[in-house]
Amino acid sequence: MSKKPSLTIEVKVKPRSKTSSFVKLSEVTYYAQIHSIAEKNKANLELLQLVAGYFKVNQSQVKILKGLSSKNKLIGIYE
CA 69 – CA 79 distance, rounded (Å): 25
What CATH number has the domain spanning 7-77? 3.30.1200.10
Residues in Cβ contact with 10 at an 8 Å cutoff, skipping those fewer than 6 apart: 28, 29, 30, 72, 73, 74, 75
Q: What does the pLDDT read at residue 79?
A: 87
User: Which pTM was predicted?
Assistant: 0.92
Give the amino acid at 68: L
User: What confidence tens digit (pLDDT) does each residue in 63-72 have?
Assistant: 999 999 999 9
CA 77 – CA 42 distance, rounded (Å): 20
User: What confidence tens digit (pLDDT) does each residue in 3-47 have?
Assistant: 899 999 999 999 999 999 999 999 999 999 999 998 999 999 999
**Angle 10-12-14 from CA coordinates, rounded to 5°:** 155
Domain spans of the chain, in order of start: 7-77
Indicate the pLDDT class of residue 1, thresholds 50, 70 and 90. Answer: low
Q: Is the pLDDT of residue 2 over 90?
A: no
